[in-house]
Structure 1
Amino acid sequence: MELEKREVLNLVSFFHTVCNLKRVKRSGWIFKSKIESPESIADHSYSMCVMAMVLAEILNLDTEYIMKMVNLHDVAESLVGDFMPDRISVERKQKREDEAMKKIISKLPRELRKNYLDIWNDYNDNITVNARFVHNLDKLEMALQAKEYESDGYSKESLQIFLKSATDYISNGSFQLVNEILQTINDDSNRI
């Protein structure tokens, strides 16, 4: 794919926007557990991407598609920030993220825009096996991070809300391996 100078400039703009995810902190850790230096959205996405790479291969899922979905799932937050579910309505959050994502994706070459937007919409619709898997990984990574904070000395009680949320979501899913990993995180964190 040949790119014109303007398209290269747009790519640089896209990369700058996405790099902002390194500075956007995950707000739930701050407001619910008083974590002093919480992970960034980029930290979270990277951990999810490694989980996706390994687990999608083990489960014979579409690893490349899933990794793209993981990389795209929180990109809109580079412009709108990380909202707590109880601080903004689901509809309003989705509208803001839709607008942000369209703006961000518009910086990509035309050949990529529709594909990436379709993947992001697939994630948000949460109907396909791939989307459900990524949503499970989102919760699994959150549980793992909660255990990391617990091992750093943060209050186990303040972190239970995250572990319960992950357990409630994942135990209702269809990915037995993800459920087994979550149970191991919950049961054996002192031995890992």
Structure 2
Amino acid sequence: MYRMGLMTFLLTEKNNINPKLDVNRCLQIALVHDLAECIVGDLTPHCGVPPDEKHRRESEAMKSIADLTGIAGDRMFELYQEYENQATPEAKFTKDLDRYDMILQAFEYEKRENSPKKLQEFFCATEGKFQHPYIKELVEELYKQRDEFENNTLLNGHA
């Protein structure tokens, strides 16, 4: 969530177009979108929890967190729902950031383990899902770096 929050600063006058996004709202959504995971954990498809049950658990957890935070809780829960429902361009942009953050982290793990393409499943899971033009550019660059890493690793006789 923190790294995604920082990534909202990547929106500049040059790339924040069509539609022009409310950067502050993107930052707020990024900071609350996964907050429920501090209670329910990071439920992935490998956990065997059906999507509707996952949503129910996270929504219930987010309501609990919202209740604890007093007056700010209503706003936090509203932002969480906006993200979950993909109700605004800001929510959709933040979803792109979430997907990008996931593959960026996967690539970092591949480099750390010196294991090119080891975490391909994460890249496959996001393929064709990015919407924002600027995030698509970042993804394209990440794919180039990943290919270079694979080629360099193979050339050096590793992996």
Q: Distance in 2 between matches of 1:66 and 1:75?
A: 15
**Deviation (angstroms), 1:56:** 6.3
**Structure 2 length as normaliser, TM-score?**
0.82
Structure 1, gaps ≥5 residues long: 1-44
Q: 1:92 aligns with which of 29, 53, 71?
A: 53
Deviations 1:140-166 (A, max 9, x none): 111111111111125334311111222
Counterpart of 1:49 in structure 2 is 5
Judge conservation of contact 2:110–2:117 (CA < 8 Å) in 1.
Answer: no
Q: 2:82 aligns with which of 119, 122, 125?
A: 122
2:116 counterpart letter in structure 1: K
Q: Distance in 1 between matches of 2:60 and 2:10?
A: 32
Moved more, 153-162 or 91-100: 153-162
1:154–1:165 Cα change, 3 Å: farther
Judge conservation of contact 2:65–2:73 (CA < 8 Å) in 1.
Answer: no
> In the alignment, does 2:21 pair up with 1:64?
no
Q: Distance in 2 between matches of 1:85 and 1:56?
A: 34
Q: Distance in 1 between matches of 2:121 and 2:43?
A: 17
**Deviation (angstroms), 1:109:** 2.3
Counterpart of 1:177 in structure 2 is 134
Judge conservation of contact 2:110–2:118 (CA < 8 Å) in 1.
Answer: no
**Deviation (angstroms), 1:51:** 0.9
**Deviation (angstroms), 1:77:** 0.5
SS at 2:119's partner residue? Answer: helix
Q: 1:103 aligns with which of 64, 67, 75?
A: 64
Deviations 1:80-128 (A, max 9, x none): 1111124211100010011111111111122x22211111100000131
2:96 counterpart letter in structure 1: N
SS at 1:169's partner residue? Answer: coil
SS at 2:68's partner residue? Answer: coil
Structure 2, gaps ≥5 residues long: 150-159
Deviations 1:60-96 (A, max 9, x none): 4211111110110111010111111242111000100
Instruction: Provide the aligned C-alpha RMSD in A.
Output: 1.8
1:107 counterpart letter in structure 2: L
2:136 counterpart letter in structure 1: N
Q: 1:134 aligns with which of 88, 94, 97?
A: 94
Q: Distance in 1 between matches of 2:8 and 2:126?
A: 16
Q: Distance in 2 between matches of 1:62 and 1:52?
A: 10
